[in-house]
Structure 1
Amino acid sequence: MSFAVFINAMNLWSNESVIPRTDPSSPSSWEIVDSLVKICIEEHLTDANRILTCPGNKIPLLVQMVTEPISWHLIIIQSCMRVVAPQGKKKKKSGPSLRPNMPQLQGIQRSVQCLIETLRSVQKWLSDQMSLEEQGLDILMSYLQGTGDEGPGQTFRVLEEKPAAHASELGDRIAQSLEAWSSTGVVRRIVGAEHEVLAEFKKMVDSKLKLLMSESASLSSVLH
């Protein structure tokens, strides 16, 4: 995604197209980036639905996509807006000269709308995940308390066994620490930490959506 974003930026400011369009119906670099952003985010949101049984499995990738390619793309959009969209008094003076910029502005508008829709889907997914904190605790506990001989459940059962009989092997300090060990407490801290990560991520998404809504409003005022 980041590569496509930078290729689009090069294509915008280069005298020669970095991605030649031999066919007028072929997608522009703007459209390629929009498509990649939408597809990649949707795929990761689908995979991330199992977060309750596998905490954090896709969160780092989602955060990376929002903080890197989407952030870079937003910066490029803002730069283009400063160049092709009139500001302040220039808007009144330029008049008909705005027309050559209209195709570019329309491409930017489509890209902004794509980012808004994509980030709204991320925002909704985060809100849904955060509303299920207690349910997440129950699901994760049932998963970890499984009776199988493999997986994390086995480790939890070993730690929950009274270590007093093995105090001589473990040492008093370790044995005393294990006496106070609670699987429920550990899982609650895991789920709580996950909730904090989701909350911080949501703040980031909310901030970018606010910027995009501002850009969308500016574009609408220019195009209409």
Structure 2
Amino acid sequence: YRHRNYSKVIEFVLFKQRLQHSNQYQAARVEASVLQLKQNADSFEEEERILENLKSGVQLVELSNEIGSRTLKFNEDMQTRPWWTPCPEKNYLLGPFEEISYCPPKENVKEEREENMKRAIQRKSLLPRMIYLSIQCTPTALKESVETNGSGGDIDVCEELKCLLEDYTKMLGCSLSDAVEMITEISQGARTSESLGSNLVDWLNFAVFWNAWSLSSQEHWHVLNSLFERLILDRVRSMGSSDMSYCYSDVQVLVQIITEPLAWHSLIIQACTRSSLPSGKKKKKNQHSDQLSSSPISQAIKDSIQLLCSTIQDVSNWLLNQLNNPEDGQVEGFLTTLKRDGNAAGPGQILGVLESFIASSEESEVGNRIFQALKSWNTADTARKTVMAQQRVLREFLQICESKRKLLETLKQQMSHV
């Protein structure tokens, strides 16, 4: 620029265009909005402010539609990364078995992964709008529950939510009716949660908004409550008294469930409690309160709050048991796990390779600075740092659980006065 050479301007413009079509850029845009909603889900007023800034989620819905018809850029060079790179959808590390190869061609894997990533962004893009519409549906549902001849309320809101639910389930690979059948069977125990695959949290999100679409249906509430209880407690029971190193993936899923679908459901319950006592004369308020307290939806809300409180308490108890374990014992258990896996594929084998390399390294080969760094590396110290990091994650998760439980306890008290 100093020499009035603007040849880079074209390059900058082209880079901006490529950035606008980048998968990572679009994912970051959507995740940033969803993260705001997750972090403030305990405050109804704050959520309203965030949704207002997001234009009630309309812009992200438009983005979802654009992504569906757009070719995104993926910053992955398949020449420098093995084609069998593990991904959440399938295990491509499996080799041929009984003359059947589980390893598809490289190009097919790339196209499939890119399509899955696009659908994931599209699903996330619909969340803010569905949250907004679910909140708007609550006054209508409460009115219908206390008025025998109540009007249909805001039909447009419910219809739009239904359309988004259909789009959401389509991105999950099925129709709305098939999705309802799926979650109903899982809630009844007719199917296992493995049927949901790696999209378990997305399916729970669907169940939450499906229930919000028809809050006056006791059956919907029952299905959703059973889903939360089954999917959360099954993981807590499977983890049992296991060390964190054995069940870290289950903890990750629990964090997602409690900070996303359960948070959205709690937000909808907050909207219900706020709408339960309309403004007006005291006489009318008392009459409305009496009608609502005897309505099916009131009992459904109370049952849901009670179940969520109990379920979150079970998660908190497991976390407390983990945090109360002596650190030295956890480090020893972690090292034992690594040593036991040392002769097989896994972290133990990797640790063995590292130790062998460090033991055989010569200063003349790697240089003084790297040599000193290698010699200062210690297996036990690394294991302790890993355990400390895991403990920090568990403490943060416990704080989230306690925050959710306190919110639900507050809602329980509010509903007791309805």
Give the TM-score, by structure 1 length. 0.83
Deviations 1:56-80 (A, max 9, x none): 2222111100000000000000101
Which residue in 2 is equivalent to 1:137?
331
Gaps of 5+ in 1: 18-26
Which residue in 2 is equivalent to 1:171?
367
2:376 is aligned with 1:180: yes
Deviation at residue 43 of structure 1 after TM alignment: 1.6
Contact 2:214/2:220 (8 A) holds in 1: yes
One-letter code aligned to 2:371: A
Deviations 1:45-94 (A, max 9, x none): 1333434343622221111000000000000001011112x278866543
Which residue in 2 is equivalent to 1:112?
305
Which residue in 2 is equivalent to 1:9?
212
Structure 2 CA distance for aligned equivalents of residues 91 and 188 of structure 1: 62
Give the length in aligned residue pairs: 209
2:292 is aligned with 1:96: no
Question: Percent identity between the aligned chains?
Answer: 34
Structure 2 CA distance for aligned equivalents of residues 127 and 92 of structure 1: 47
Query: Please, which of 98, 122, 144 is the counterpart of residue 315 of structure 2?
Result: 122
Contact 1:48/1:57 (8 A) holds in 2: no
Q: Report the CA distance shift for 1:104/1:174 in structure 2 as closer, same or farther (over 3 A).
A: same
Which residue in 2 is equivalent to 1:72?
264
Deviations 1:149-181 (A, max 9, x none): 223223323433454653333333322211001
Which residue in 2 is equivalent to 1:37?
228
Query: Please, which of 140, 143, 149 is the counterpart of residue 343 of structure 2?
Result: 149
Give the TM-score, by structure 2 length. 0.46
- More relative contact order, 1 or 2 (CA 8 Å, 6+ apart): 1
2:250 is aligned with 1:58: yes
Deviation at residue 37 of structure 1 after TM alignment: 0.4
Which residue in 1 is equivalent to 2:18?
none
Which residue in 2 is equivalent to 1:199?
395
Gaps of 5+ in 2: 1-203
Structure 1 CA distance for aligned equivalents of residues 331 and 409 of structure 2: 35
Q: Indicate the larger mover: 67-76 or 165-174.
A: 165-174
Q: Report the CA distance shift for 1:55/1:104 in structure 2 as closer, same or farther (over 3 A).
A: closer
One-letter code aligned to 2:213: M
**What is the CA RMSD across the aligned residues, in angstroms?**
2.4
Structure 1 CA distance for aligned equivalents of residues 341 and 398 of structure 2: 36
Which residue in 2 is equivalent to 1:47?
238
